[in-house]
């Protein structure tokens, strides 16, 4: 031994520890800020889309999910998270725990901050459910609970709705503002039933005190089937209709080589697809993959198609009534009936828009246009079923 001394750097270990702590702190804060940003976006987005308070914990879960996804990405790539220490080492347990704690706090705070920013920008005011304002609202009876009847009927002139919808409506409760008139309450209930239960039409009968006595619902026919003449079908083909063509125009359907495939009526167009009504025995001549040409005929279309399309968008419907001999409608004037009389069909032929003084006779076939509420009084007099309506 020659007594040579080896120098030892006593400051290297403390400096390494300090660098490790600093890098860990930066990593925790950076990942937590990511969680806070995601929480802010969730809180602001939910309030902006619904104007309601975000669900408890939604921002925190979303923020921690984003932070967890980042950490898992680092772990799966086997990259060191800090100072050469991978996430799989025991030394990273404290780092992960600190990230979750700080990230959860910032995500929750970010959700509240985003919610508050949107409330200020959109001028949304909230009421504490346990405060004096909420007690005042309850004492003033600003909310009224309306219970729907147990029996849900079928609306006159409409198709029946699915039985599951009728079961869901049976005995259901609806909250309405206090102080509405009977007409306003009925309108809100009908709109609520149509929007939330997916029915095409709802008709409510309410008493003067607002109690719902009867509820009738129904759905409209969809598609072209109910407007096609007997012996005709609707077919979608590849074709470019003439620019001036409209629904109801008579057209010739020709192949690319000019051969006449069929004649029909144009019903609808969608880019390069046209729907035409043709005779059922000519469907085989129309190939679905072949492109056709439509030639408009020099005839003018009637207003029938426009009338049908307009009728589908309103609450009124058409019902058919047969006048029975010595029945309640025999001898009545047309003008005394509810709704609008469209056609009276007799042995000598149909009469369109009969005069109010026209007298009904036994055997007459009558078509009436009106709302279900107006036509409900004919239920006891009709021999036709509600399915005869359009």
Query: What's the average model confidence in pLDDT over 99-111?
Result: 86
Q: Using CA atoms, how far apart are residues 387 and 266, in angstroms rounded to an integer?
A: 27
pLDDT, tens digit (0-9, with 9 covering 90-100), for 150-161:
999 888 777 888
User: What mean pLDDT do residues 340-360 have?
Assistant: 86
94: β partners = none
Q: Please name each of the domains of the chain with its CATH number.
A: 15-122 (no CATH), 132-218 (no CATH), 225-303 (2.40.30), 314-388 (3.30.70.1450)
CA distances from 32 to 65, 85, 243 (A): 11, 19, 60
Inter-residue contact 181 to 159 (CB < 8 Å): no
pLDDT digits (tens, 9 = 90+) for 53-62: 788 888 888 8
Is pTM beyond 0.85? Reply is no
Query: Considering the chain, what percentage of its residues have pLDDT values greater than 90?
Result: 1
Residue 358, pLDDT score: 86
pLDDT above 50 (res 387): no
- What mean pLDDT is reported for the chain? 76
pLDDT of residue 139: 58
Ramachandran bin of 179, using left for φ above 0, alpha for ψ from -120 to 50, beta for the remaining angles = left
Average pLDDT over residues 244-262: 78
* Three-class SS state of 196: helix
CB–CB of 274/259 below 8 Å? no
- Binned at pLDDT 50, 70 and 90, residue 8 comes out as very low
Reply yes or no on whether the pLDDT at 308 is more than 70.
Answer: no
Rounded average pLDDT over 318-324: 83
**Full strand arrangement of the beta sheet holding 152-154:** 152-154, 212-218, 201-206
Q: What is the pLDDT of residue 383?
A: 42
Q: What is the mean pLDDT of residues 105-127?
A: 81
Spatial distance between the Cα atoms of 239 and 293, rounded to a whole number of angstroms: 6
Q: CB–CB of 110/39 below 8 Å?
A: yes
What value does the mean pLDDT take over residues 295-322? 67
pLDDT at 1: 43
- For residue 270, what are the β-bridge partners? 273
């Amino acid at each position: 031994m020659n007594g040579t001394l080896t120098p030892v750097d006593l400051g290297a270990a403390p400096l390494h520890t300090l660098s490790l702590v600093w890098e860990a702190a930066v990593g925790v804060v950076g990942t937590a800020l990511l969680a806070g940003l995601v929480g802010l976006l969730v809180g602001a987005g939910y309030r902006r889309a619904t104007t309601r308070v975000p669900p408890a914990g939604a921002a925190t879960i979303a923020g921690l999910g984003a932070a967890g996804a980042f950490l898992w990405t680092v772990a799966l790539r086997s990259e060191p998270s800090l100072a050469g220490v991978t996430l799989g080492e025991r030394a990273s347990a404290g780092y992960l725990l600190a990230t979750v704690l700080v990230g959860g706090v910032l995500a929750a705070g970010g959700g509240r901050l985003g919610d508050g920013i949107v409330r200020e920008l959109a001028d949304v005011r909230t009421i504490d459910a346990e405060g004096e304002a909420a007690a005042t609202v309850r004492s003033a009876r600003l909310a009224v609970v309306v219970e729907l009847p147990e029996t849900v009927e079928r609306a006159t002139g409409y198709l029946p709705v699915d039985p599951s919808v009728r079961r869901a409506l049976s005995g259901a409760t609806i909250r309405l503002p206090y102080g509405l008139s009977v007409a306003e309450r009925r309108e809100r209930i009908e709109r609520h039933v149509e929007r939330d239960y997916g029915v095409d039409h709802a008709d409510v009968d309410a008493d003067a005190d607002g109690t719902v006595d009867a509820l009738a619902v129904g759905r409209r026919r969809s598609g072209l089937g109910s407007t096609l003449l007997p012996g005709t079908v609707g077919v979608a083909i590849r074709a470019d209709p003439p620019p001036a063509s409209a629904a109801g125009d008579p057209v010739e359907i020709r192949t690319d080589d000019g051969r006449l495939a069929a004649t029909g009526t144009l019903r609808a167009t969608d880019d390069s697809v046209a729907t035409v009504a043709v005779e059922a025995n000519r469907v085989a001549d129309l190939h679905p993959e072949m492109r056709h040409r439509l030639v408009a005929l020099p005839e003018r279309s009637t207003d029938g198609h426009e009338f049908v399309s307009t009728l589908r968008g309103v609450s009124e419907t058409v019902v058919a009534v047969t006048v029975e001999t010595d029945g309640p409608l025999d001898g009545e004037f047309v003008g005394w009936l509810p709704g609008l009389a469209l056609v009276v069909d007799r042995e000598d032929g149909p009469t369109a828009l009969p005069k109010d003084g026209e007298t009904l006779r036994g055997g007459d076939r009558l078509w009436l246009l009106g709302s279900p509420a107006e036509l409900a009084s004919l239920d006891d007099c009709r021999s036709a079923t509600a399915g005869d309506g359009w």
